[in-house]
Structure 1
Amino acid sequence: MITLAKVLDWLRRGLLIIAVFALLGGVLAVGFGMVVKPRFASSMDILLPPPTGQVVPNELTTPNIQSDAQILDISSKLLLITSGNVLRRTVEQENLHQLPEFNAAADTEEGMFDWLKPTPPASTDDGVVVAMRNLAKRIKVARQGGTYLVSISLWTRDPDRSVAVLSTLAQSFREELEATQTDLAKNASTALSNRLEELRLAVTQAANAVVQFRQENNLQNLGGTGSVNIQSVSQLNTLLNEASSRLSDVQARYRRLSQPIADGVVPADTLDSPTLVTLRSQYSTLKQQYEELALTYGARYPKLVSTRAQLGTLRAEMARETERSLQAIQVDLDQAENSVTTLRAQLEEAQKRVSTDDNSQVQLQELERNSQAKAALYDTFLKRVGETSEQQQISVSNLRIVTEPVPPEKRSWPPPTLLLAVGGVLAGLILGVVGVLATRLFLLARQNNWRFERAS
């Protein structure tokens, strides 16, 4: 039967063993504190209130006073602190990927106990990614109650490095917040610019439609002279009279030139061709010489024969030139007839349009209203594009650091040596007591042939 007195007797007899365990626990705890690399934690407090004002008119990020929206906003910003962009900026600015503390592959120094270290597995990630992962594990972000105050803590192996990395982390976080606003303004500006081009084309098309409709329907207002259609009727009447007079002149010339030619000589009143005038003058002179020779000499006289041949040649040339003149006058005649026909058709069309000006004016007013509406919308978008472009140049963050990080006075891990020693001694005492009692119970059970009796 196991009684309290027996247990105390067992402990008294095993007091030396318990003392050895306690001493060993204290020594191991102190040795652990001396061997383990220390951690130095630094912390800072930042304030992340929602936007409360506008820097420029019509700002994209307007304040939202809804409580649910504010909760989502602060929660998103807490996650943004440990985002990839923030961590990458911090690692690259502080060159953490070159420190063995954050990137084991950067440790190139050889030590006498390197053979005890396990060989790290091969990794395809670069040092920056590895350092980002290790940095993320060392960051703790906590929101203070229901406020906008956020505490950020970070530990490294060096107290000054903890402060530097934490300060860089806060600056990177600020830059990411500003980049978010800038990207929003940039994306909005790009979208508005694309839409602006579509609106510009629409405004141009609407304006061209008004101009084209005016031109097609001759609706330009000419003041006291009336509309274009009325003035066109008057002008077309004048042009038609002139064209008809010209047609009559060309027809008279064609009839005179097409009359039968006597003795191959063109009548003098039809000579509107310089070439024909020259040929007729030569022919008249040569004809006179021929008649004078014919009075004196016979028909076989050589010079008379030669003159007669020259007269035949001139008559042939005048006939050809007359034919060419007739063809030219025929072209003028066709053109004059076409001109008269065209002007008559235009005059009839203009007279019809005069009666339809009122209906066309109603359609024109509708086109003008559509053009003005699109132009006003285009002006609005143009102004908005200018505002969003300016917002890209202005990066304002409402982040405020209320508690700057300072170097820690003592390490955060492992605990102080005295505390480790006390803890080791206590752990050794407990382990010694458990070991002594377990040993005595084992021996007692073996003596009783592993039989246990219930106390009555």
Structure 2
Amino acid sequence: MNAPVKGAAARAEGGAPYGGIEAEDQGFLELDLMALYRTLRKRLGVIMGVTVGLTALVMVVVLQQTPLYTAEAQILLDRQKMQVTDMQAVMSGLSPDSATVDSEVEILRSRTLAARVIETLDLVQDPEFNGALREPSMLRWLDPRVWIGTALSLIEAEPLPQSEDVRARAELNGVINSVLGRLTVTRQRLTYVINISFVSENPAKAARIANSLADLYILDQLEAKFDATRQANDWLSRRLAELRQQVQDSERAVEIYRTEEGLESSAAGVTVSEQQLSELNAQLILARTSLAEAEAKYSRAQQIRRSGGTIESMADVVQSTTISQLRQKQAELARELANLASKYGPRHPEIVNAEAQRRDIERQIGSEINRIVGSLENNVSVAQTRVGALEDSLREIRGEAGTGNQAMIQLRELEREAAANRAVYESFLNRFKETSQQQDFQTPDSRVISAATPPVNPSHPRKALSLALALVLSGMLGVGLAFLLEHLDNGLQTGRDVEQALGLPHLVSLPATPAEKGADGKVMSPQDYLLVKPLSAFSESLRSLRSALQLSNVDNPPTVILFTSALPNEGKTTTSAGFARAAAASGLKVALVDCDLRHPSVHKAFGLKRPEAGLVELLAERLDLAQVLIRDPKSELDILPIATGTANPPDVLGSTQMRLLLDRLKADYDLVVLDSAPVLPVSDSRVLSRIADETVFVVRWNETPKDAAQAAIRELRLYDANIAGAVLAVVDTAAQAKYGYGDGGYYYGKYSRYYVN
């Protein structure tokens, strides 16, 4: 029960009263597993109570809850589209990105779709979703929202009367909120699959609502496409009428302008002026070619004549039929002359006649050549005249064409505008025909891949899981409450607590005595229990305290020992009286002096009547020491009681007479025990601590506040008191065994058989 005494060493080192507190603060920096274990063991009752109580409450609530069933359907956002035609759809399909899938999830959670499900299945008339149709239940008060709503209804003024439509909308909104509260729509990881889960009290109803939501979602997609196609057709129809009128107006403007400006076109698509200009250009080119050819021929003939050459080699001469015939006659006549010359002489009439014919033929050839040359000259003149006429006509036509160019520019502008209007009209007409065909054929972008089926087992409440969670959470709450109570606990339970909190050696832990009756039938006081049970833990603790005080100063053991405490009723008088009687029972000559001049209680501890004379009368020198001493009827202990008080207790206790009295008692007795007043209320004990050899500070187990004990120690140190250590009094040994692992009291159960209690 006792701990190693180190009071003298602590005083020699000038140990600060808060040294233990500093050590405790440093302990927070490290995880003390044994401290955690001590706390849990100490507050095991609180932990078990909170755990069992809350778990039982949770299970009662769980067992009272209505079973709920969860049905799940799955929808696939289909990326593969059936392409019947090559036409572009009015409303494009869903894109495969993640944002689109998340958007479809939000559509499935929308209030609009929930309202359609409610309308389809008539859920407004279902009491499960319409709170107005449900009967009141006690479990509804477990919902905090019911409390808040009730409080608000009491606080708010009387509501104004509502119309039937407003009440119907409010009722529908409540049903929508209830349905959405039971609905869970999630995307299955990174796939295009969407899970639709619905919770209901009826498994078939849960499956029916989940499937209805999936079907209405797909139907909503089809209706959206039908609406988009119908709106597109209506718009295209109106737009086509406008474009048709624009095309007619633009084409009419082209024809009117062409007629007004005389810009009629030929079959080839060009105007008359352009066609005439083109033809004249072609004729002028041919005429100039003919002129050049005629001039070349005529120039060649002139050149041959000037050079004295024969002109008969020219192509026109060679090609002349007349000259060919004359040359043929000339050849025949030459053969004839040759025959005649062989027969006749030059004067022969036939020869003369033949010569005359030859000369006539040559004259004819010459005349024909001259005619051909003259014809070449005439051809040149004709060609020149024709070229000039064509050039005049061309200039005239070009003048007319230049005048019509400005009109042609405007005409082409009108034609381009008409062509553009025609192209737009044809494009819209084609698109209108495509959308008209699509209106009767639309496919959804989603499909149900797994329809919801009525579940067999309820999904809520999960009794096993609820029990496990209740145990874990209530256990955690109990542990948290235990640590909170430990943190708020300001008492001292173990010797370690005393040393850490007060910075004093723990001298001994003094157990509380059991409530046993003595021979007279009354409950024994601790002082009587000491004598009746000399081998008890209480008696052994007092003997250990005396040994500890003697070892605190081996060379000069203390004789005058002061017992004090921080506050009243902390076991100070019981400890000092028991200590004195135990010392007297061991054979020492002991004097017990009651120094509490304000509330004396030593005589009560020994069952004595209040004396007529005591310490005050002795110090006033009105009586002798032998006259005021009282012998303990059950031991050899001498008691110096207090009969009357005084107006100035500190002055009396710190007087010279008090010092002389203590010197006399030290000379006559082996041990002088002083029982004084508490430290904090009055200064009596502080004064006595200066004249006592050692001061024992008594702390009541688990009741003395740490801050009060620390303040008392601080006050004693201000008076230079020699504090031997602290006694932990009135200890519940059974409870202390739970608190102080590593402390002596923790092992009380193992060595308790050495005591005879």
**TM-score tier after normalising by the smaller chain length:** 0.5 to 0.7
- Residues 50 and 398 in structure 1, CA contact (< 8 A), matched pair in contact too: yes
Match of 2:81 among 52, 55, 67: 52
Q: Deviations over 1:99-149 (max 9, x none)?
A: 232222343x57799999767657954322222222222222222222212
Which of 200, 209, 219 lines up with 1:175 in the alignment?
Answer: 219
Q: What residue in structure 1 maps to residue 287 of structure 2?
A: none
Q: CA deviation at 1:403?
A: 1.8
SS for the counterpart of 1:54 is: coil
C-alpha change, 1:130 and 1:54, in structure 2 (3 Å) is farther
Letter of the 1:450 counterpart: P
Matches within 5 A, 1:304-383: 364=411, 367-383=414-430
Aligned residue pair count: 319
Larger deviation, residues 111-120 vs 392-401: 111-120
CA distance in 2 between counterparts of 1:447 and 1:199 reads: 100
Structure 1 contact 42–162 (Cα < 8 Å) conserved: yes
Shift of 1:167: 0.5
| Conserved 8 A contact 1:98-1:127 | no
Aligned to 2:70: 41
- C-alpha separation in 2, matches of 1:54 and 1:396: 10
Is 1:103 aligned to 2:130, yes or no?
Answer: yes
Letter in 1 for 2:706: R
Asked if the contact 2:73–2:214 (Cα under 8 Å) also holds between the matched residues in 1, the reply is no
Partners of 2:41 and 2:264 in 1: how far apart?
A: 125
Distance 1:215 1:437 in 2: 108
Instruction: Tell me how far 1:10 sits from its aligned partner.
Output: 5.9
CA RMSD of superposed structures (Å): 4.5
Residue in structure 1 matching 2:111, options 64, 76, 84: 84
Which structure exhibits the higher relative contact order, with contacts defined as CA atoms closer than 8 Å and separated by 6 or more residues? 1
Name 1:341's counterpart in structure 2. none
- The 2-side partners of 1:419 and 1:59 are apart by 52
Output aligned runs, 1:113-128, within 5 Å: 124=166, 125-128=169-172
After superposition, what is the alpha-carbon deviation per residue over 1:407-449, rounded to whole angstroms, capped at 9, x for unaligned? 1222222113x55556656777777788899889969657341
Matched, 1:390 2:402: no
Could you tell me the percent identity over the aligned residues?
Answer: 25
Shift of residue 194 of structure 1?
3.9
Residue matched to 1:31: 60
User: Which residue of 1 is the match for residue 634 of structure 2?
Assistant: none
* 1:378 Cα offset (Å): 0.8
Offset at residue 211 of structure 1 (A) = 3.9
Indicate if the aligned counterparts of 1:26 and 1:420 stay in contact, CA closer than 8 A: no
Cα drift, residue 203 of structure 1: 0.8
Question: How do residues 229-244 of structure 1 correspond to structure 2 at under 5 angstroms?
Answer: none
* Structure with bigger gyration radius: 2
Helix, strand or coil for the counterpart of 2:79? coil
> Higher helix proportion, which one?
1
Shift of the 28–115 alpha-carbon distance from structure 1 to 2, 3 Å rule, reads closer
Structure 1: state its 5+ residue gaps: 229-354
1:199 has 2:243 as partner: yes
* Pair 106,64 (structure 1): closer, same or farther in 2 beyond 3 Å: closer
Instruction: Describe the shift of the 1:174–1:374 C-alpha distance in structure 2 as closer, same or farther (beyond 3 A).
Output: same
- Local SS of the residue matching 2:443: coil
Deviation string, structure 1 residues 210-251 (Cα, Å, up to 9, x no partner): 34335545667899xxx99xxxxxxxxxxxxxxxxxxxxxxx
> What is the match of residue 133 of structure 1?
177
One-letter identity of the residue aligned with 2:110:
S
Aligned CA distance change for structure 1 residues 192 and 448 (closer, same or farther; 3 Å) = same
Deviations 1:389-416 (A, max 9, x none): 3333333113122222111222222113
Structure 2 residue runs without a partner (length 5+): 4-33, 154-158, 273-399, 493-700, 711-741, 744-757
Indicate the residue corresponding to 1:406 in structure 2.
453
Q: Distance in 2 between matches of 1:146 and 1:131?
A: 32
The alpha-carbon distance between structure 1 residues 5 and 369, as it changes in their structure 2 partners (threshold 3 A), is: closer
Give the C-alpha shift of residue 154 in structure 1: 1.4
1:429-444 alignment runs, 5 A limit: none
Aligned counterparts, 1:222-233, within 5 A: none
**Distance (Å, rounded) in 1 between the aligned partners of 2:129 and 2:180:** 10
With over 3 angstroms needed to count, the CA separation of the structure-2 counterparts of 1:369 and 1:45, relative to structure 1, is same
Q: Which amino acid aligns with 1:31?
A: V
SS at match of 1:155: strand
- For residues 372 and 152 of structure 1, what CA distance do their matches in structure 2 show? 55
Task: Give the Å deviation of 1:168.
Answer: 0.6
How far apart, in 2, do the equivalents of 1:221 and 1:421 lie?
Answer: 99
- The answer to whether the Cα contact below 8 Å between 2:40 and 2:482 also exists between their aligned partners in 1 is no
1:50 deviates by: 2.8
